Chains A and B, each alone.
Chain A
Amino acid sequence: MATTAATVERENYLNAGYGLKSWLLTTDHKRIAILYLISITFMFFIGGFFATMIRLELLTPAGDLMTSDTYNKMFSMHGIVMVFFFLIPSIPAVLGNFLIPMMIGAKDLAFPRINLLSWYIYTVSAGMMIYVILNGGVDTGWTFYPPFSTTYSNTNVVIAGLAVFVNGFSSILTGLNFIVTLHRMRAPGLSWTRLPLFCWSHYATSVIQVLGTPVLAITLALVALERLFHIGIFDPKVGGDPVLFQHLFWFYSHPAVYIMILPSMAVMSEVITCFSRKRIFGYNFVALASIGIAVLGFLVWAHHMFVAGISVYAALVFSILSYFVAVPSAIKVFNWTATMYKGRIYLHTPMLYAFGFIGLFTMGGMTGLFLAALGIDVHVTDTYFVVAHFHFIMVGGAVMAYLSGIHFWWPKITGRMYPEAWGRIAAGLVFAGFNLTFLPQFVLGYVGMPRRYHAYAPEFQVLNVLSTAGASILALGYLLPLIYLLWSLRYGEIAGNNPWQAAGLEWTTASPPPTYNFEETPVVTWEAYNYDELPQEVPVAQ
């Protein structure tokens, strides 16, 4: 990243100091966001490598590319890396970190040093995970279910579990920092109802991080203890209950899905309003829906366990609650769509990704309704139907939104434009590749192919080949932005302060922003998304 600031003369956060030390000891939230961006991108491609191996193995029904042990490690590490080291930190730690202080007119987050600490914690945990990968891996699945994880697996379960444990604290500290920042650091005049929805969604995300993550941490600690000392708190041989692990695990890991998707919704509200030149439709409802998702999201965890041996009554309770949480998500989708009505729509790259997000998230959410229906869940749970469903939410939703946000704020972060034409091509590739990869998996699931299968019945092959073909397009779609975004650091067109004519305080300051974000603390006298007061033209980039 050394080339970034070469030709920019004005003093900004990038050229405020040079050398490794000025980065590694920085307390500037923007620099920390860049540190996160680099480490998360690195982990994303590690996870992506595992995904590639999985899809290659599944080209043929027989398990011929690698042994079943290797395959099991591939999907386990794909899950762990992607969930804990990419998706959960992705938007909050990169975009949230960079933007929240700027959106609220603050100089920094409330606890800059804790912010840096959380990056170091992340790095340590990522290092532990890489150690696991290089040392023979882990094969428990990302879910660490006992008694397999505690007694039967012969792999690095303890270190992998501790890596996730440590990583949790990074997540907690980020969330804590955001909550305090949003409460205490808002610029004068910036009331809660004037806050960009980006901040509302991140607030909801942070609530989940702060309240949910510790439960996962303690649960994995118990697994590690049980494994180290052969004590057996989840071991039925001493009266323990393996299903209790599942309760505790999903108490966090279901809301974790909302940790991934709420920040994506945050990006959507910004991008859609900007490229429709419109105020958001139903601000209050979108904001409250975020909070609603955060609260209701904690009440539905056992829908992952309908066939796990929980009681029938519990299953009924969790099924109906799962339908409750679908309501606020539906509200959001309808409000975004309504926002575009009679707008002035520009199809720049971030907006293309936003279209992709709404479409794919809708499909992901709709298939979630199938899984909440008890009778159907019994048939499709633990099959490729579930795999397809959550990839629609996490890849079709969260990754699309992440890319949308990266493109949208790239000029703000780096001061340069990305190449628009390439951006649109990549967005198209990602959308097409994604659908080809994961649509066939819905069919596979309903026909009955279980997940985590190394070898499978021959009649499933055609659909699997389609899926792998899609994955190769998807991989290309992800490599392209990596290349052209790096290219743009040196050759990209210089972006002005506000290339999109967007609303929001972050666009009122320079690009890249100065170290303390604003020359003087702004005073806010307007509502969010005041696009009626802004120019209606978004310059068309090359």
Chain B
Amino acid sequence: MPSSTEVVAQHSLQHHFANMEQQRESSTLGMWLFLVTEIMFFGGLFASYLVYRLLHPGAFEFGSEHMEFWLGTINTVILLCSSLTVALSVHAAQLGRNKIVAILLIITVLMGLGFLCIKGVEYHNHWVEGSFPGHWWHMDTSTLRGDDVSAAQLFFFIYFVMTGLHALHVFIGMVLLSFIAYFALKGHYTAEYHNPVHVSGLYWHFVDLVWIFLYPLLYLIAHKHA
């Protein structure tokens, strides 16, 4: 039904844009710029990480030993796969196949949920272990030397802020993709107009990218094969 898609396309062009091309490029560029601010947002944390790891290498190694290596690895795989499904859904959207878009996105959201659940299990284990810094801190740091004893809290503080912030992004991404999936189910997207799928996909990939770096920095400092 070419006529109906054209109507949809006309309808989805906002008044202040001259044409679809301009609208598409604007939203893509807008999202990329937003992702750059996100890079800098995490960048501040990465900088703190870098400085403190430099100052307290022992504490960071200690902290990393207390990461759940396999859970982290599984989560990495989950996120990579979810990125794949998102990429496929963008491809489906380019062909205007709304149903496939919706299915792929729902799978993605479920994988995101799985990621958060595993993360929750990890947090729970940390809680039991006493690695929440501040009042709740009661880790056994007897293997540590010197000011690494207290600096171990720094590692966990940075760990919780980084992964917590990342989890928040995963959550926002899930909400975003759910909306897109909903609109896809309603047949919203066409070969001409599918940029919301693309742009939301970019966001999800970014969330994946952050994790790609968090994983080695937090989990792999001192991994010893069990």
Q: A residues touching B (Cβ–Cβ < 8 Å)? A: 106-112, 114, 172, 176-177, 179-180, 183-185, 210-215, 217-219, 221-222, 225, 229-233, 237-241, 244, 247-248, 251, 516, 521
Contacts and interface: CB of A to CB of B under 8 A. Distances in A.
Contacts of B38: 214
B110 to A, nearest CB: 30
Nearest to A230: B134
B48 A184 contact: no
Interface stretch (B95-103, B147-155, B176-184): B147-155
Contacts of A251: 44
A179 B135 contact: no
A109 B153 CA distance: 46
Contacts of A232: 133-134, 153-154, 157
Nearest to B22: A184
Contact of A214 (B16, B30, B44, B150): B44
B52 A240 contact: yes
The 10 A-B pairs of least Cβ separation, nearest first, read A239-B151, A214-B41, A218-B44, A108-B16, A107-B16, A238-B150, A214-B40, A215-B44, A229-B134, A231-B134
A238 B154 contact: yes
Given A184-B22, A215-B40, A217-B44, 18 more contacts: A107-B16, A109-B16, A112-B14, A179-B33, A180-B26, A184-B26, A211-B36, A214-B37, A214-B38, A214-B44, A215-B41, A218-B41, A221-B161, A232-B133, A232-B134, A232-B153, A233-B158, A239-B59
B37 A213 contact: yes
Contacts of A108: 15-16
B134 A237 contact: no
Given A184-B25, A230-B135, A239-B151, A176 B48 contact: no
B34 A219 contact: no
Contact of A248 (B14, B48, B133): B48
Q: Give the most central of B44, B45, B135, B157: most A CB within 10 Å.
A: B44
Interface string B91-135: 000000000000000000000000000000000000000000111
Given A184-B26, A211-B40, A521-B18, A248 B33 contact: no
A219 B51 CA distance: 14
Interface string B134-162: 11000000000001101101100110010
Nearest to B14: A112
A239 B134 contact: no
Contact of A183 (B17, B29, B37): B29
Contact of A233 (B15, B22, B37, B154): B154
Contacts of A110: 16, 26, 30
Contacts of B29: 179-180, 183-184
Contacts of A114: 30
B40 A222 contact: no
A210 B36 contact: yes
B30 A238 contact: no
Contacts of A221: 161
B56 interface: yes
A176 B133 contact: no
B216 interface: no
A350 B123 CA distance: 60
A95 B33 CA distance: 22
16 contacts: A109-B16, A210-B37, A211-B40, A214-B43, A215-B40, A218-B41, A218-B45, A225-B157, A229-B135, A232-B134, A238-B153, A239-B150, A240-B52, A241-B55, A248-B44, A248-B48
B47 interface: yes
Contacts of A179: 29, 33
A95 B97 CA distance: 44
A176 B34 contact: yes
A179 B25 CA distance: 12
A230 B150 CA distance: 13
Given A112-B16, A184-B29, A239-B154, A233 B48 contact: yes
A518 to B, nearest CB: 11
Contacts of A107: 15-16
A110 B41 CA distance: 24
A217 B25 contact: no
Given A107-B15, A233-B48, A185 B36 contact: no
Interface in B50-104: 51-52, 55-56, 59
Nearest to A111: B30
Nearest to B150: A238
A241 B44 contact: no
Nearest to B34: A176
Contacts of B150: 237-239
Contacts of B161: 221-222, 225
A239 B56 contact: yes
A255 B45 CA distance: 19
Given A108-B16, A222-B48, A240 B36 contact: no
Contacts of B147: 239
B12 to A, nearest CB: 14
A231 B157 contact: yes
A180 B25 CA distance: 9
A314 to B, nearest CB: 13
Contacts of A111: 26, 30
A211 B39 CA distance: 9
B220 to A, nearest CB: 22
Given A222-B161, A233-B154, A172 B37 contact: yes
A239 B154 CA distance: 8
A286 to B, nearest CB: 25
A176 B15 contact: no
